[in-house]
Structure 1
């Protein structure tokens, strides 16, 4: 894919409108392009354990222009890459530090963090993956990939803005990326973003919120940030127009299906962040998105049923369909949602052409059309979720988002 140079909206919009440029961070090299900037979320979290070097490498090799990472500080001040506020979801902290499962991730020393396995939760292929040091990310990049650095939970990592700013200014590898226009800093905390803007006004900065706020709030964002990012699920035409009117570049997260990517582009989105960057890249380039697909697809998901999501027989479920022309044994196929919950199809399930199989997370009676995992925890996000489908040999067949 042709490298899509980072374009930032505030200064460019003012220049086009003939207005005085605001005192905000200078944009990276600008280039007219119809293609969006593609960012691999937490590296490439759909195909490798998030925020690990394996995910960074996968994202860097995917065709994405940037990989996104989350930075926090250990209790002894070491910058590391991790998303959650606790280690429970994506590490073996329950085995290594059983009394600290719910402790803040920032309460661990760097040495303690290095004792955790951050890959096994994803699959056996990634046993032994560690929580990376911030500086290790630059070494893991290939080609011309840049980095979106999200400052995560800054109140729990005091001084993290200074750490990032100093690294970008003084570390040779980070500085080279910044000078090449391959760095953007972003975060949800406006106070933290303003602090970073004062420390490093030359570095492109993005303000994140879950929904598009009022024009007045966007105008405040535009006084220190260059772009704005939000959930694609909450973005509409009016919100997109408000962002553009504020002179801000527009990005969305977490785009995990080609349909979601197309809908975002129709709204004028310039940055697309997702867990499956290679698949979105192939879609944007007009290539077959899933070369390994054998006809089995995710045709739908029922996330929020009336009553209990885990009620017997009719609870939450994902629908597999055979759109091919031959019978496929789907035993051992894996469905993984955005939070890395896994639904694995049991043995003996075959789909004839045109047939469907409903995979339920809760209890029920198995049949040729339904498989019940019998779990006691609802896993699908009621407000919408994304789902990846792998065959029994670990080949990615499809993604779906609702």
Structure 2
């Protein structure tokens, strides 16, 4: 797969006229190359770069002491050894642990590509991989060719999280280059609040807004990012007609990828960034 030269064009604020005139569709590595490495870890992000993804997607949450870490789930149980390290602290919510405590956790030993606890011959050992902070990730990946799709995880309970994400991006100005970052969220109020704080960074809305709501959203959002199962060709056209773009998630099947591209989506979010050169399928 050849990395798209049109990446910066594909995720800027410009309108998308039609699939025929749009930039080549982008491939977004969902939580990194998460089919092959533990999700939301530096190892997964570097592997996504090796596999020629265009962007890597991350999930940002807040710790008890209000530090920004990368975790998808609201609890630490699925992707770390927190139950062994802190056995008496169920249900192991991220917001109940300090950054110092989370740094003690192993975020890689749970992962095995064959999903049965046995590693294939030659498979990398991810034991000891840690939960990274947002700042660590921005520094580590700054010299890569990857763009970033950053999801804010508020769970409706962290009303100022978008402000701290904006502050962290300001502290790493290289990531504010045009087309380098998109910030998205299921919490559309948080996404809009982020937009007011850092308007030069495009904002995406996760989910499938009603068609009647799209014109109002187009006033400040630049992407509508639904699950692929919710998409139709006509919906993609409506979004494009309003100058916004569409990234479909989570697409790991080449046949589904081809169908999404036939609808004219601007990119796919996938656990398998080596799925193939989707622009040529």
Q: TM-score when scaled to structure 2?
A: 0.87
Give per-residue Cα distances to partners, 1:124-181, cap 9 Å, x unaligned. 6111111001112123325311111110125343421111111222x2xx31122142
CA RMSD of aligned residues (A): 2.1
Partner of 1:310: none
1:195 aligns with 2:197: no
Is contact 2:15-2:240 (8 Å) kept? Answer: no
**What SS does the aligned partner of 2:275 have?**
helix
Alpha-carbon shift at residue 73 of structure 1 (Å): 1.1
Is contact 2:14-2:243 (8 Å) kept? Answer: yes
Tell me, in whole angstroms, the C-alpha distance in 1 between the residues paired with 2:66 and 2:110.
Answer: 26
Tell me, in whole angstroms, the C-alpha distance in 2 between the residues paired with 1:246 and 1:181.
Answer: 19
Is contact 1:57-1:140 (8 Å) kept? Answer: no
**What SS does the aligned partner of 2:184 have?**
strand
Q: Which runs of 5+ in 1 are unaligned?
A: 17-31, 287-402
Partner of 1:76: 65
1:12 aligns with 2:12: no
Q: TM-score when scaled to structure 1?
A: 0.62
Is contact 1:186-1:208 (8 Å) kept? Answer: yes
> Structure 2 vs 1, CA of residues 273 and 262 (structure 1 numbering), >3 Å: closer, same or farther?
same
1:53 aligns with 2:54: no
> Structure 2 vs 1, CA of residues 8 and 54 (structure 1 numbering), >3 Å: closer, same or farther?
closer
Alpha-carbon shift at residue 75 of structure 1 (Å): 0.8
| Structure having the higher Rg | 1
Partner of 1:136: 136
**What SS does the aligned partner of 1:60 have?**
helix
Structure with the largest fraction of strand = 1
Tell me, in whole angstroms, the C-alpha distance in 2 between the residues paired with 1:90 and 1:56.
Answer: 16
| Pairing partner for 2:76 from 74, 87, 112 | 87
Which 4+ stretches in 1 moved above 3 angstroms? 8-11, 154-158, 283-286
> Structure 2 vs 1, CA of residues 223 and 51 (structure 1 numbering), >3 Å: closer, same or farther?
same
**What SS does the aligned partner of 2:47 have?**
helix
Q: Which runs of 5+ in 2 are unaligned?
A: 113-118, 120-124
1:236 aligns with 2:232: yes
Structure with the largest fraction of helix = 2
Tell me, in whole angstroms, the C-alpha distance in 1 between the residues paired with 2:99 and 2:158.
Answer: 13
Alpha-carbon shift at residue 97 of structure 1 (Å): 1.2
